Structure 1
Amino acid sequence: MTDRAKTAAIIGGGVIGGGWAARFALNGWNVAVFDPDPEATRKVGEVLDRARASLPALYDRALPPEGRVTFCETLPEAVSGADWVQESVSERLALKHEVYDQISAVLPEGGFIASSTSGFKASDLAAGGAPVVVVHPFNPVYLLPLVEVSGAADLRAKAIPVMRGIGMHPLEMQTEIDAFIGNRFQEAMWREALWMLKDGIATTAQIDDAMRMGFGLRLAQMGLFDTYRLAGGEAGMASYMDQFGPSLHWPWSRLTDVPELDAALVQQISDQSDAQSGHLGIAEMETLRDDNLVAILRGLRRTGSGAGGVILGHEQTLPEGGEIDGLPVTLRRSVPVTWTDYNGHMNEAAYLELGTWATDGLMQLVGADADYVASGKSFFTVDTRIRYLDEVARGAVLTVTTQVLEGEGKKMKLFHRVLKADGTLAATLETLLLHTDLTTRRACAPEPVVASRLAELAQAHQGREAVGAGGAVGQRH
């Protein structure tokens, strides 16, 4: 692939296909969608809107400029010249083979087909001769990073770097099995839930509460085996297996049996589900789900646990820095829902957090980075003044430039300008910091390399107007 914008062909524009279109487009790929459904443009457009409001909010750097999304009249039009082909049609093997024949006829040399199948083995999909590798995502594709990659080793090797490049976590499977790993666990829980419903043990709401109020919260950040290792106490996993291993022989579950989905059970499930969440429309539930996932994923991001580590790793590949009007860009990021209030606007505390990360960006520029802090030196904030100049809504991409007002001795005085996408000044933050020895907790002079870089920036920014700096509270000009 060259430096030109890469293109992903999305064959099938349903929930999964739309999610793939959003994941690729928001990571800078051009996207060509083919789906004969006359509503495909609307459906994929709605998914894109949800993704724009959520995926960028996971990162503390801006994602690449969004790629162009095109809806094609024919499958060959979508696939022609594509760097990646993602098939997300219905789970019918005969239909997939028919689609693969059409794709193969126009597939670029050396190309292959990535299938979103949730259950078929790659060898079954490729039985007709098409080069197919399983790249199975989880919904919503634009937020959840896991993709299970299965199939021929050479195709897995081609697919995995592309998935990492768009912020996904490829789980490579050397052994083919139906339904892969994630769906087997989901099916096991689903079967047990159906038995509890059929036997009158629990309702849909009780089952969901057991998951979301308990073990589901643990699994999101630690997984199954690490959770059980903790349950074994200081002796670890061996102790857990010794204590609870015998319980595997107890008749607790009915995972090997399948309840008959007769009309009565289907009606029971439907009625209870309607009573549980029927007051919400599907669009409302999808927005609620995405908002919750953003909050959870940003929490995991702080510690690098689970999916949070994937986000941090991908973030390091995103561009940073640059200048605007001769001032360094110290932060560029989207406003997450966790930064907004009941009006949907960015709240006061979030501006301070934004300034904190911008200050970190400036510190890295002058060499006061993580290694410097680990050596026992840093800058401590003494005073901050914020001016709120314009409303900022969730999803807005903000860019912060930083002017060094003072950089001599122990002091570092900064002036952050917070700019909206159209260049409007949304806020300014003036902050004073003192260089500190972390062992004595007392102010001290910075190391020579940091002092030199800081002085250079202060000299370069000297004489530049900083409207709002040095004023009193309430003073606007």
Structure 2
Amino acid sequence: MARKAAIIGGGVIGGGWAARFLLSGWDVAVFDPDPEAPRKIGEVLANARAALPALADVPMPAEGHLTFAETLTDAVQGADYIQESVSERLDLKHRVFAQIQQAAPDALLGSSTSGFKPSELQENSANPAVIFVAHPFNPVYLLPLAEIVPSPKNDPQRIEEAKEILREIGMFPLHIRKEIDAHIADRFLEAVWREALWLVKDGVATTEEIDEAIRMGFGLRWGQMGLFETYRVAGGEAGMKHFMAQFGPCLSWPWTKLMDVPEFTDELVDLIAGQSDAQSGHHTIRELERIRDRNLIGFLRVLKDSNWGAGKVLLEHDARRRVTAPDPTPDSAAPLVLAHMQVLPGWIDYNGHMTESRYLFASSETCDAFLRHIGAGMDYVAGGFSYYTAESHIMHAGEAKLGDRLTGSVQVLAADDKRLHLFIRIERGETLVASIEQMLLHVDMAAGNPARPGPRFWRVCVP
């Protein structure tokens, strides 16, 4: 039975949370009195359905069930996790928390607040131990970071429970050790934002020029190394200590106005809004979101290929969700179903069908699963032996499209002292998509020559 998440507030952030939970297989109940909330969340969800699966290399879970509750009480009843994303007004949040805890006093209750401390959120609450900050970043369905901020009143065990839930839906819970206004990330962004406002106000740069400075330069470095690791590299072989010695004196120079705030006048607002319209006004917000999502997917997949930064989170999330087929009955003559896959956005071609290389990829995944099944997995390879593919013949029997769930099965046609002859089926339900006949040679990797496998393989492989 699917677990339930309640999302209170259906704006940009609430919609992102709803999409993240839904696409992770949770049932989601949303409460938002705005009559436009179903449309808005539907549009965010459409973008998320097109984007989030592109980061996965394992099948997505079956999507959860989305409901729009008539009352806040209906939304939170029976919820395993509640995320509040209402407007940044402390009095409003207090009223919402009071209503939530009347119906679900013990449920985990995260707040998307970007500024309030958890101790402020917990004031006069019925159960402060379960209220904490879970501050995400837009788009919530793609970016993994969630700042988890507890107060001394929180139950540490419940905070760990909340962090595990967020990991389960593919997020990176960053535990903030000490509560502070605006947490960590937004304090940093606020400093950059203040300086940017001065640069525009003083006529030094336009909104577009500032954005170009970020995305063409240091933004790319930050996206994969952050601030301190970037500066460590900048220090060369001498490292961070050399960097600090070289650039530390700059801190006393009057370069920035971070402690100064430009007067927030109508003229300044009009200036920035006008420049922003000229920069991006030819795109709708939904178009900008889709452009952003495509760019993030490309960047995140590069990081995933490198097992670095946010890409490492994605790889770990794939590993958590990777489907392991149950052990087949040893004496069964039926093909062994060993792989479960899903046609992902990166698998399809311009016709909307699974591209040719992915048929072979599906075969490879199935063959690898079979080798692990007989004990010839990566531990065996580390010992210096492996099975190499000597020959493959593929027959395309059907088409697979985006989202299709596939199974891979193996039948051993023959085996001798050095060879395995396999017949692999890739199927969508009961429909054959492709079959692959494959000949494998057992190889001594150090010698580079075929060699006999250990006797344990014969018990499994010989028909």
TM-score, normalised on structure 2? 0.88
Once the two structures are TM-superposed, the CA of residue 389 in structure 1 deviates from its matched residue by: 4.5
Match for residue 275 of structure 2 among 272, 275, 297: 272
Match for residue 119 of structure 1 among 115, 122, 134: 115
Once the two structures are TM-superposed, the CA of residue 388 in structure 1 deviates from its matched residue by: 4.3
> Structure 2 vs 1, CA of residues 370 and 87 (structure 1 numbering), >3 Å: closer, same or farther?
same
Query: Please, what is the CA RMSD of the aligned residues?
Result: 2.6
Once the two structures are TM-superposed, the CA of residue 305 in structure 1 deviates from its matched residue by: 1.1
- Is the aligned partner of 1:231 residue 2:231? no
**What does residue range 219-368 of structure 1 map to in structure 2 within 5 Å?**
219-318=222-321, 319-322=323-326, 326-368=334-376
Distance 2:354 2:9 in 1: 36
Contact 1:13–1:33 (CA under 8 A) maintained in structure 2: yes
Letter in 2 for 1:63: M
- Is the aligned partner of 1:437 residue 2:444? yes
Once the two structures are TM-superposed, the CA of residue 407 in structure 1 deviates from its matched residue by: 4.0
- Is the aligned partner of 1:70 residue 2:67? yes
Contact 2:341–2:362 (CA under 8 A) maintained in structure 1: no
2:138 maps to 139
Corresponding residue SS for 1:320: coil
Letter in 2 for 1:288: I
Runs of 4+ in 1 over 6 A off after TM superposition: none
Distance 2:455 2:298 in 1: 40
What whole-Å deviation, never above 9, does each CA across 1:171-201 have from its counterpart, x for those lacking one? 1112001111111222222222222222222
Letter in 2 for 1:117: T
Letter in 2 for 1:133: F
Letter in 2 for 1:277: S
Once the two structures are TM-superposed, the CA of residue 352 in structure 1 deviates from its matched residue by: 3.5
Letter in 2 for 1:401: S
Contact 2:108–2:162 (CA under 8 A) maintained in structure 1: no
1:98 maps to 95
Corresponding residue SS for 1:381: strand
TM-score, normalised on structure 1? 0.86
1:30 maps to 27
2:53 maps to 56
What whole-Å deviation, never above 9, does each CA across 1:25-79 have from its counterpart, x for those lacking one? 2222221111111122222222222222232332222233222211111111111
> Structure 2 vs 1, CA of residues 356 and 323 (structure 1 numbering), >3 Å: closer, same or farther?
same
Distance 1:404 1:291 in 2: 42
Letter in 2 for 1:339: W
What whole-Å deviation, never above 9, does each CA across 1:419-465 have from its counterpart, x for those lacking one? 34x65444444444333333233333334434543x15xx3xxxxxx
> Structure 2 vs 1, CA of residues 384 and 129 (structure 1 numbering), >3 Å: closer, same or farther?
same
> Structure 2 vs 1, CA of residues 260 and 410 (structure 1 numbering), >3 Å: closer, same or farther?
farther
Corresponding residue SS for 1:31: strand
Distance 1:65 1:433 in 2: 35
Corresponding residue SS for 1:379: strand
> Structure 2 vs 1, CA of residues 38 and 427 (structure 1 numbering), >3 Å: closer, same or farther?
farther
Match for residue 191 of structure 2 among 178, 188, 192: 188
1:401 maps to 409
> Structure 2 vs 1, CA of residues 268 and 407 (structure 1 numbering), >3 Å: closer, same or farther?
farther
Corresponding residue SS for 2:103: coil
- Is the aligned partner of 1:15 residue 2:12? yes
Corresponding residue SS for 1:364: helix
> Structure 2 vs 1, CA of residues 36 and 207 (structure 1 numbering), >3 Å: closer, same or farther?
same
Match for residue 160 of structure 1 among 160, 163, 183: 163
Letter in 1 for 2:51: S
Corresponding residue SS for 1:433: strand
> Structure 2 vs 1, CA of residues 107 and 275 (structure 1 numbering), >3 Å: closer, same or farther?
same
What whole-Å deviation, never above 9, does each CA across 1:247-286 have from its counterpart, x for those lacking one? 2223333222222343333333333323333332222222
Give ranges in structure 2 of 5+ residues lacking alignment. Answer: none
Contact 1:56–1:334 (CA under 8 A) maintained in structure 2: no
What whole-Å deviation, never above 9, does each CA across 1:12-36 have from its counterpart, x for those lacking one? 1112112211222222222111111
Distance 1:423 1:279 in 2: 48
2:37 maps to 40
2:389 maps to 381
Contact 1:59–1:334 (CA under 8 A) maintained in structure 2: no
> Structure 2 vs 1, CA of residues 17 and 438 (structure 1 numbering), >3 Å: closer, same or farther?
same
Give ranges in structure 1 of 5+ residues lacking alignment. Answer: 460-477
Contact 1:53–1:395 (CA under 8 A) maintained in structure 2: no
Distance 2:173 2:164 in 1: 9
2:214 maps to 211
Distance 1:271 1:435 in 2: 68
Letter in 2 for 1:40: A
Identical residues among aligned pairs (%)? 52
Contact 1:57–1:395 (CA under 8 A) maintained in structure 2: no
Letter in 1 for 2:49: R
1:370 maps to 378
- Is the aligned partner of 1:5 residue 2:2? yes
Distance 1:285 1:326 in 2: 51
Contact 1:291–1:337 (CA under 8 A) maintained in structure 2: no
Once the two structures are TM-superposed, the CA of residue 344 in structure 1 deviates from its matched residue by: 4.5
Letter in 2 for 1:52: R
Contact 1:5–1:28 (CA under 8 A) maintained in structure 2: yes
> Structure 2 vs 1, CA of residues 261 and 405 (structure 1 numbering), >3 Å: closer, same or farther?
farther
**What does residue range 410-425 of structure 1 map to in structure 2 within 5 Å?**
410-420=418-428, 423-425=430-432
Distance 1:103 1:164 in 2: 24
